[in-house]
């Protein structure tokens, strides 16, 4: 179901004289908010890993992640365009549509307030709930009028260090990014952002650990998602089979003005 479908159901619930129907209206309000947010996430998932976008299922947290990746994704604006004739003359601007951002108050406070009515409670206030639903309904109607999705951005490209897939990143988001996932669903490898140069080259670090082959000491890079007891890998140099038999954490005192203590292993 889409947001418009939920709006129709909410209006039917509100029209009922049975106050119990307000509970169903509150549920449909929450589902409509989730559908709007998830539609926006799906739209941007072509540029970003779905795993990254949907790692937080709650709409407020999910939208915060999307806004970090796409700074303009939750801004409201209207797009006008005009056609240039063969002579170079420009016709009048025509309205294309509006890109609507959803109010954080709806995503956070009101979304959770609606949820509080979906549990058995002694202090049920039907009029208060009806007012809350109507406020959310007005916001939902605003979101679906002349709506379009926009994904314009200056793109920075980087290759996944695991599979070679080209990753596209919005340049505006880079200063705030700490981690990036490969957009290939068969890979989904995590990277850390190391540096972004003036030449607009993005340096990534693979979320992996270097293991020295127990036979020839050659270094083998193993993704951290695979590192666990019992995992085995074949050395890239001598092809010997190595197996992880226990975890050993390396640690040390962070360097300060004083001399740092040497690192130690437990």
pLDDT tens for 66-117 read 776 777 777 787 877 777 766 655 567 887 777 778 777 777 788 889 999 9
- Kindly state the tokens that stand for 247: 């975890």
Residues 223 and 136 in one domain: no
164 and 190 together in one domain? yes
For residue 178, give its domain range. 155-206
Distance CA 222, CA 62 (A): 29
Q: Is the same domain home to 189 and 160? A: yes
**Predicted TM-score (pTM) of this structure:** 0.62
Phi-psi region of 34 (alpha: psi -120 to 50; beta: other; left: phi over 0): alpha
Q: Are residues 106 and 185 in the same domain?
A: no
Q: Does 198 lie in the same domain as 216?
A: no
- 14 exposure class (CB count in 10 Å sphere: 0-12, 13-18, 19+): middle
Same domain, 202 and 126: no
Greatest Cα pair distance, the chain, in angstroms, is 79
Q: How many domains does the chain have?
A: 3
Length of the chain: 266
Residue after which a domain boundary falls, among 90, 114, 144 = 144
Do 58 and 66 contact (CB within 8 A), yes or no? no
Query: Distance of CA 221 to CAs 82, 88, 158, 159, 236, Å?
Result: 53, 58, 19, 17, 9
| Cα torsion 14, 18, 22, 27: sign | negative
Domain assignment of residue 226, yes or no: yes
Which pLDDT tens digit goes with each residue over 193-244?
Answer: 887 766 667 788 888 888 999 999 999 989 888 888 899 999 999 999 999 9
């Amino acid at each position: 179901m889409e947001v418009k479908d939920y709006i129709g159901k909410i209006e039917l619930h509100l029209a009922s004289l049975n106050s119990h129907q307000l509970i169903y209206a509150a549920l449909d309000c929450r589902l409509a908010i989730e559908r709007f947010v998830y539609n926006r996430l799906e739209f941007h998932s072509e540029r970003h890993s779905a795993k990254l976008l949907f790692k937080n299922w709650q709409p407020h947290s999910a939208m915060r992640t999307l806004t970090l990746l796409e700074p303009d994704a939750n801004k409201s604006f209207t797009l006008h365009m005009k056609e240039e004739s063969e002579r170079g003359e420009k016709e009048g601007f025509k309205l294309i549509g509006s890109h609507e951002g959803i109010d954080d108050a709806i995503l956070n406070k009101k979304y959770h307030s609606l949820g509080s009515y979906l549990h058995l409670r002694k202090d049920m206030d039907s009029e208060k709930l009806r007012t809350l639903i109507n406020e959310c309904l007005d916001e939902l109607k605003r979101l679906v009028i002349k709506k379009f999705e926009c994904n314009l951005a200056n793109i920075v490209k980087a290759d996944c260090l695991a599979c070679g897939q080209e990753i596209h990143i919005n340049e505006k988001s880079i200063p705030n990014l700490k981690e990036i996932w490969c957009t290939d669903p068969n890979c989904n490898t995590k990277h850390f952002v190391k540096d972004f140069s003036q030449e607009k080259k993005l340096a990534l670090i693979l979320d992996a650990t270097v293991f020295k082959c127990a036979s020839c000491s050659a270094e083998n890079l193993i993704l951290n998602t695979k590192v666990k007891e019992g995992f085995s890998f074949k050395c890239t140099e001598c092809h010997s089979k190595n197996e992880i038999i226990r975890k050993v954490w390396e640690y040390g005192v962070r360097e300060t003005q004083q001399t740092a203590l040497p690192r130690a292993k437990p």
